[in-house]
Amino acid sequence: MSFQLGLDTGGTYTDAVIVDDTLNVLASAKSLTTHDDLIQGLRGAVEGLTDKPLMSDISLVSLSTTLATNALVEGRGRSVALVLVGFTPSQMKRANLGEALAGDPHVFINGGHNASGHALCDPDLKTCEEFVSRVDAQVDAYAVSSVFAVRNPEHEMQVQELITSLTGKPVTCGHHLSSGLDAPRRALTALLNARLIPMIGSLLEAARKLLTEHGIQAPLMVVKGDGSLISDEMAIKYPVETILSGPAASVVGAQFLCKQSTLLVSDMGGTTTDVALIRDSQPRLNPNGATVGGWRTMVQAVDVRTYGLGGDSAIRFNRDSHSFTAGPNRVMPLSLLTKKYPELVSELEAQLALPFSTTHSAQFVMTHGAEPSDLSLQQRELYERIAEGPISVQTLFSDQTLERALNKLEQRGVVLRSGFTPSDACHILGIQTDWEARGASLGASLLMRYSVDNLGQEFADTEAFAASVMQLISEETAMVLLDTVASCDDQTAPLTDSQLSLIRKTISGNADSLISLNAKLDVPVVGLGAPAASYYSCAATLLDTDVVLPEYAHVANALGAVVGTVRQEQVISIAPAGGKRVSVLFPDGPVEFEDLEEGVQAAKDKCEQLAREKATAAGASSLTISFDRKDTSVKDGDQTVFFESRISALATGRPASSI
C-alpha cells in the first residue's frame, strides 16, 4: 500500500494529513506557520502526525496555500516592473493598473497586434532596454503584457527574452496566464504573478527541502485556484494560479467530507474567511476570473468570496462609530506574542500603569519573512529599530506621521504587527489554551480603557469584553455568509447596501433602528478552519440555518489537496479571413484555411496536442480529453455572418505518483 501526504500552509497554521490509497484519513496534525522560515511550520505539521506510515511509502505530496491570497488581501508583495506593449496611457485606468503598481515602475513601448494576430509595428526593444537598465536595481521581477498577445504572443516573448538576457530575473508574460481578451486585466494578472514569484518560490523550496529530509521521493503538486493540481515546477512559474489555492482546496475537501449536493462552504483561517457555494455537487466557478483584495484578475478559480475576517484579525476601536471593528488586517495575537516573548508581559503591564491608553496601546511590531529592499531613509531607520526585536509601537514612535512609514513596511511584508485578536478573546474565555492568556487579558484591559476614554462602550471585565469580540466575529461571519449567497444566487438580485445595513442592525440587536430586516439562509453551512467551532454555531443561529462541522474540518484544506485532479485547458480562436476563408489563431501565429470546418479540425488537433502537453507538464497521467466548440455569429440584415469560433480541449487526470 502507498500513502499520500496533503499539506496546507496558511497565514496562521500549517496543516498535514495522511490518506491511504482509498483516501481514508489515517492521521492529521497542525503547526504554527513560520513566515520567516516556512520549513519550520511544514516540519512541525509533518512531525506531529501520529501513527504515520513509513515516509518511503508516500507516493504523492500535494500542497495548498493561502500565502498568495493573504498577500493580495493585505497589499503585500515584492517590487516589480511592468512593460506594456502597444498600450495607451488611458488603458492604465482600466483594471486599476495604476493603483496596483503602487509606485512600482512601468513603461509604454510601441508594438502589439490587432485582433487578427497581425503586428501593428515592430516592438520598441531599445526603449525597453533603456527602461530595464534604469529600474533593474529597484525590482525583483518583471511583468510583460502586449495588446492582443492571446492572438499572437511574439512581442511578449521577444520582450521576455530581452529582459531575461539583461537581468536573469523572473519575467511573467500575460499570454501564459489567460487566453481571454481584455489587455488591461491580463496586464494586472501578469503584474500580480510577478509580485508573488519570490513568495511562492520560498514555500516550494521549503517543501522540497522537507521531502528530502524525510527521504520522500514523490512528486510535489500544488493546488490551483480552481481546485485542480499542477506540478511544483509549473507553480513556481505561475504563482498567480495559486490565488485562492487554500480556499479552493477547502471547497474540494468539504465536498469530499460532507457528500451533500448543496452546501455553503466557509473556511475561516487566521487572515481571511473564504466562502463558496456548492450546487449539484459542483463548486461554482467564477466566469470572470478570481477577485482577491479588490483586484479582478483573469485567473480561473472557484467562485470564492474572500473577506478580511479571521482568528487573527486586528480588533481596533473606530473613533467615528465609537465601537470596535475586526480586520481586514491580520496581526499576531498578543497571547502568541507573549508566549514567544514572555518579557513583553511587563511592557503591557507598564502601559496599563499609565493613566490613559493611546491609539498604539497593546500593539507591537517585529521583523517578518521578507528581506527589505528599496526602503526610504525614514523606512530604513524604522526597520533597523524594529530589527532589534519585538518593540511596542508606543515605544517605537509618538509622532503620528511615522505611521505611514510603518504601514508601508507592513505592506512590503518586512514587518508584522501584533495586537488584540479574536484568538486572544478565545484565550481569555478559556476556549483556546495554546498560548499565554495573561498577554491577551492585559491587551483587553488597555482596549477597554481606550473605549471608555473615547465615548465607547464600558465593559464590566475582560471576560465581558472578550465575549463582545466573539459576538462581533459571529455577526460579521453571518454577514459574509449572507453576502456570498445573495451574490451567487442567479435567481435573485444581490442585496443593496441599505438592505445589508438593515440586516446588520437586526443581527447586532441595534435597539435604535425603527426598521429591521430578518434574513434566513436556505442552505446548510459547512464550517471549516481552526476557529470555525468558536463562531459558526452562533452565526448559523443568527441566519436560522443548519451548520455542519465535519470531523476533519480543521484540516480540510490539506485533505482537499490530495483528493484533487489535474485539469489543463487549451483554447484556440478562429476568426473570419474573407469569403469562406478563416484564420486560426494558433499560439505561434495565425494560419488561414479554406473554410470553417477545415479550420476547426486543425484547431481541435492542435488544442488536443497542447492540452496533453500542458497536463503532462502539470504532473498528470492517464489523461482523458474532452472538447468544446462555441461559434459566434452576428446578424447583418437578413444574413448571418460568422464572427468567431472558440475551440477548447480539456485534459484531465490524476497526478502521476512515484509508485
What domains can you pick out in the chain, each with its CATH number?
Answer: 3-72+200-263+557-561 (3.30.420.40), 76-199 (3.40.50), 313-459 (no CATH), 566-653 (no CATH)
pLDDT, position 513: 62
Work out the pLDDT band at 412, boundaries 50, 70, 90. confident
Q: What percent of the chain has pLDDT over 70?
A: 95
Residues 207 and 590: their CA atoms lie apart, in Å, by 41
For the stretch 488-495, contacts whose Cβ atoms lie closer than 8 Å and that sit 24 or more positions apart, written own/partner, are 488/277, 488/284, 488/303
Average pLDDT of span 290-313: 80
Q: Is 637 left (phi over 0), alpha (psi -120 to 50) or beta?
A: left
How far CA 451 is from CA of 315, 326, 350, 419, in Å, comes to 12, 15, 19, 15
Work out the pLDDT band at 444, boundaries 50, 70, 90. very high
Summarize pLDDT for 54-103 with one digit per residue, the tens. 677 888 999 998 877 777 776 677 788 999 998 888 887 777 787 778 88
Residue 519 burial (CB count, 10 A): 22
pLDDT, position 49: 85
Work out the pLDDT band at 417, boundaries 50, 70, 90. very high
Work out the pLDDT band at 53, boundaries 50, 70, 90. low
Mean pLDDT of the chain: 86
Summarize pLDDT for 544-570 with one digit per residue, the tens. 899 888 888 888 889 999 888 898 999
Question: What are the backbone angles phi and psi of residue 417, rounded to the nearest 5°?
Answer: -85, 160
Q: Is the pLDDT of residue 397 over 90?
A: no
Q: Longest Cα pair distance anywhere in the chain, in angstroms?
A: 86
How far CA 115 is from CA of 146, 152, 180, 576, 577, in Å, comes to 12, 9, 12, 11, 12
Q: Is the pLDDT of residue 659 over 60?
A: no
Residues 246 and 252: their CA atoms lie apart, in Å, by 10
Q: Is the pLDDT of residue 179 over 90?
A: no
Work out the pLDDT band at 579, boundaries 50, 70, 90. confident
Torsion sign, CA atoms 150, 154, 157, 158? negative
* C-alpha neighbours within 13 Å on the C-beta side of residue 65: 31
pLDDT, position 208: 92
pLDDT, position 370: 61
Q: Is the pLDDT of residue 601 over 90?
A: yes
Summarize pLDDT for 208-226 with one digit per residue, the tens. 999 998 888 889 999 988 8
DSSP-assigned beta bridge partners for residue 589: 586
Q: Which residues contact 338 (CB under 8 A, 6 or more apart)?
A: 344, 345, 348, 435, 436, 438, 439, 440
pLDDT, position 413: 78
Q: Is the pLDDT of residue 365 over 80?
A: yes
Look at residue 1 and give its three-state secondary structure. Answer: coil
Which residue's entry shows cell 501565429?
589
Residues 208 and 532: their CA atoms lie apart, in Å, by 31
Closest among 627, 623, 625 to 655, alpha carbons compared: 623
Average pLDDT of span 465-491: 87
Determine how β-strand 547-548 pairs with β-strand 624-636: unpaired
Q: What is the DSSP string of 54-114?
A: PGGGEEEEEEEESHHHHHHHTT----EEEEEES--GGGGGGGGHHHHHTT--EEEES--B-
Amino acid present at 185: R
Q: Is the pLDDT of residue 658 over 60?
A: no
Amino acid present at 442: L
Determine how β-strand 639-653 pairs with β-strand 566-576: antiparallel
